[in-house]
Structure 1
Amino acid sequence: MVSRLPSEIRALFSTGRRTLATSSKYSVAAAPLQKKEGDISDAFASLSGLTFKPLEPRFGDLKRRLVGGNEEALHHSWNRLLESLREEIPLIAELGPKIIPQIDFSDLHNASPEFRAEHKKRGVAVIRNVVPRQEALDMKQELRDYIAANPQTKAFPQDNPQVYELYWSPSQIKARSHPNLIQAQRFLMEFWHSKDPDALVSSSHPLIYADRLRMRLPGDAKFALGPHVDGGSCERWEEDGYGRGGVYDAIWKGKWEDFDPWESSCRLPVVSDLYHGVGACSMFRMFQGWLSLSETGPYEGTLLVNPLLSRATAYFLLRPFFTPKRQASDPSTESFDRSFLAPNNWELESEPSSWLHGATPGHGQELQATLHPHLDLPSSMVHIPNVKPGDYVSWHCDTIHAVDKVHAGKSDSSVMYIPSCPLTVQNASFVARQRHAFLQGLPSPDFGGGIGESQHVGRPSAKDVELVDPEDGSRAFGLKAWESEAAGLTAGQREVMDRANKIWGFYA
């Protein structure tokens, strides 16, 4: 029902339908505050020229609280983890890209048990042919045309753009709303589960998260983003961050094997952007992902991942609690003494330091061979397999990933970043802010502020979303109400739909 809505909102509904009109004046509330202006370099310490160092003393106190009373169990857990890494990493190094599970879009309804098991373990997947090849190539050309028509577009680096501060181009709108892409996201998110049957989360109803795009050119070495994890950094240890849901409690208690990276209800209260960082994600993304617009292979400006999901997560979270008894040379050098990695060379800090290795407030979590030596990053970071236009690549929100240091290929490596986000109350609130930004042409709320694309020629409207997919695509954008009375929904799904509809202004 739309009665009792403010007149300026009510006037924007199409007659007799619970769907938004295309007016750019729509706003449920006042325009949301923007983050400071910036680009992708502001999201990571290494791209910003910062160095990793001890943080404020309060982080030492935080570490003490996290593991207090569990010190002995934590030490035994650490040793078991190191043993497991020693077993798993050689297999990854041997198989390389072959270790990444792959499936064709046409087979999603009949995914094999082998694919499902490997995907659960690895947290990474390539879904082939999600968008028809020519359609994906047309999207790339349309991107080029949009950029050419709007030379004022911000990008990194400024002298030779590779990553564009674009969120509302025609191609991005078409890709995010594409029925095949939404189906692929639903397939992936249903690998998640909730221990609370009434949790206000639905992995069957994807929401849009507007992210950037890259068009990386041969020879580029500036967009050399090393191993990192999205979704905050310090927040993973902080009580007011991931601690709100106890996401990693099993790890802090010395039971890393009990950590379930696929449990969703514990992630609902999480605050992943405590520092309002440029590019720091505040939405619950079950998976990060991108749609390929090019044919690329290893070393051609593509993605590398660490397919050790639960083990790698446990390691980078526990690393700040342990220190070596004897130092060694750089782990990435040939002269490195492997005995440095032996469990008997590592001990729990007697007095917790303020180090959170690779974490900097307001920036993404980064990993380095010198800071995280047991992960053997040169061996455990593997390229994804060759991809073609229209393939979709996804990785779990805790997955360590990176990009090629140098694009050694002969053609562009272009992708649109399109993560998979479930319907939750917090996500619905973000989408309300994002919808305002879309209709005004402003940058997506998590990213650098400014005028964005508000003056861009050829910027799409809400009507363009409806043309791609008037049902699920429009709902994912927050442009149409969910049908909470549809058959087959759980009580939790019905409630979260109703709450989202109210947040979006469809209910009084």
Structure 2
Amino acid sequence: MAAPTPQLPQRFAQIKQDIAASYPDFEKQATEAWTEIIHELNKAAETIGSQGPDFIPQVKFKDLDNLDVATIENIRRVGTVVIRDIVDDPDAIKWREELKTFVKEHPEVDGGLLTFLLPAVFGDPHTRTTGVPEQDKQFFHLFWTKPQVQARSHPNLLTATKWLNQLYRSNSDSPSAELDGVDLSTPLTYADRFRIRHPGKAWDLHPPHIDGALN
């Protein structure tokens, strides 16, 4: 069971109050918007429940430039997609094995920033560790190992990321318009940890969640 998130300083409450005060009928509008969101979430949950995994579109990397309009619009609507075969299996297996070797050979490596965040996120007092759970490590607080960098910088992954960026536009009124400082053709690298899941084992230490402002 994760530990409670520490309470934020009072100034954050004041910021929220100031924002609310700057909008006419804020409470009424916020309540109506929240009600609408809950209604739409209920509809989406029903659809997802009936379709199961098929709700999420799945495509192959080699087909990205030839997808039909209906498929692309479905990806936009759902908001996620599984792109298969971005890298060859031998490359992916090689990275996985190198990651296994790294955590085995470097047990002294700690989680960096995670040594501070882990108590709030996982409720785990043993924060100076390469991975969790301590007795059966599967989730590793490492960000910049060689195989991670190789995976993120793989040409096919960058191509897929660029393709995904092109699904959206920076100005809703003019698809061809560009905003200063916004370049959707240049992928940005998001450095995250990695998990090597053991097949067939239930593990609730890292349940489904939505990342917060700390990320």
TM range (shorter): 0.7 to 0.9
Runs of 4+ in 1 over 4 A off after TM superposition: 54-60
Deviation at 1:111, TM superposition (A): 2.1
- What amino acid maps onto 2:29 in structure 1? A
Structure 2 unaligned runs (5+)?
110-129, 172-176
Q: Highest relative contact order (Cα 8 Å, sep 6+), 1 or 2?
A: 1
Mapped to 1, the partners of 2:34 and 2:104 lie a distance apart of: 53
Is contact 1:175-1:181 (8 Å) kept? yes
Deviation at 1:73, TM superposition (A): 3.1
Mapped to 2, the partners of 1:231 and 1:86 lie a distance apart of: 22
Asked if residue 132 in structure 1 is aligned to residue 132 in structure 2, the reply is: no
Deviation at 1:121, TM superposition (A): 1.9
Superimposed CA distance per residue, residues 2-22 of structure 1 (whole angstroms, 9 cap, x where no aligned partner): xxxxxxxxxxxxxxxxxxxxx
Mapped to 2, the partners of 1:86 and 1:220 lie a distance apart of: 27
SS in 1 for 2:186: strand
Which structure has the greater CA radius of gyration?
A: 1
Deviation at 1:105, TM superposition (A): 0.1
Distance 1:81 1:186, change over 3 A: same
In proportion to residue count, which structure has more helix? 2
Distance 1:146 1:80, change over 3 A: closer
SS in 1 for 2:183: strand
Asked if residue 145 in structure 1 is aligned to residue 101 in structure 2, the reply is: yes
Asked if residue 65 in structure 1 is aligned to residue 21 in structure 2, the reply is: no
Mapped to 2, the partners of 1:216 and 1:124 lie a distance apart of: 22
SS in 2 for 1:103: strand
Deviation at 1:168, TM superposition (A): 3.0
Mapped to 2, the partners of 1:75 and 1:166 lie a distance apart of: 41
Q: Percent identity?
A: 31
Structure 1 unaligned runs (5+)?
1-45, 233-279, 282-508
Mapped to 2, the partners of 1:172 and 1:84 lie a distance apart of: 37
Superimposed CA distance per residue, residues 440-479 of structure 1 (whole angstroms, 9 cap, x where no aligned partner): xxxxxxxxxxxxxxxxxxxxxxxxxxxxxxxxxxxxxxxx
Asked if residue 192 in structure 1 is aligned to residue 168 in structure 2, the reply is: yes
Deviates more, 1:91-100 or 1:56-65: 56-65
In proportion to residue count, which structure has more strand? 1
Is contact 1:102-1:115 (8 Å) kept? no
Deviation at 1:104, TM superposition (A): 0.5
Mapped to 2, the partners of 1:210 and 1:83 lie a distance apart of: 35
Mapped to 2, the partners of 1:75 and 1:143 lie a distance apart of: 47
Write the mapping of 1:403-414 to structure 2, written as runs, cut at 5 A: none
- What amino acid maps onto 2:192 in structure 1? D
- What amino acid maps onto 2:63 in structure 1? D
- Structure 2 counterpart of 1:6: none
Deviation at 1:191, TM superposition (A): 1.9
Is contact 2:56-2:81 (8 Å) kept? yes
Is contact 1:165-1:213 (8 Å) kept? yes
Superimposed CA distance per residue, residues 267-314 of structure 1 (whole angstroms, 9 cap, x where no aligned partner): xxxxxxxxxxxxx33xxxxxxxxxxxxxxxxxxxxxxxxxxxxxxxxx
Distance 1:51 1:173, change over 3 A: closer
Write the mapping of 1:9-24 to structure 2, written as runs, cut at 5 A: none
Superimposed CA distance per residue, residues 170-222 of structure 1 (whole angstroms, 9 cap, x where no aligned partner): 3212211111111111111122321262320212111333221111225353x
Asked if residue 207 in structure 1 is aligned to residue 188 in structure 2, the reply is: yes
Is contact 2:133-2:205 (8 Å) kept? no
TM-score normalised according to structure 2 size: 0.74
Asked if residue 160 in structure 1 is aligned to residue 136 in structure 2, the reply is: yes
Write the mapping of 1:352-431 to structure 2, written as runs, cut at 5 A: none
Mapped to 2, the partners of 1:207 and 1:119 lie a distance apart of: 21
- What amino acid maps onto 2:159 in structure 1? Q
Q: RMSD of the TM alignment (CA)? A: 2.5
Deviation at 1:50, TM superposition (A): 1.8
Superimposed CA distance per residue, residues 395-453 of structure 1 (whole angstroms, 9 cap, x where no aligned partner): xxxxxxxxxxxxxxxxxxxxxxxxxxxxxxxxxxxxxxxxxxxxxxxxxxxxxxxxxxx
TM-score normalised according to structure 1 size: 0.34
Is contact 2:75-2:81 (8 Å) kept? yes
- Structure 2 counterpart of 1:302: none
Distance 1:56 1:145, change over 3 A: closer
- What amino acid maps onto 1:211 in structure 2? D
Is contact 1:166-1:212 (8 Å) kept? yes
- Structure 2 counterpart of 1:50: 4
Deviation at 1:166, TM superposition (A): 2.3
- What amino acid maps onto 2:190 in structure 1? Y
Deviation at 1:126, TM superposition (A): 0.3
Is contact 1:101-1:119 (8 Å) kept? yes
- Structure 1 counterpart of 2:157: 181
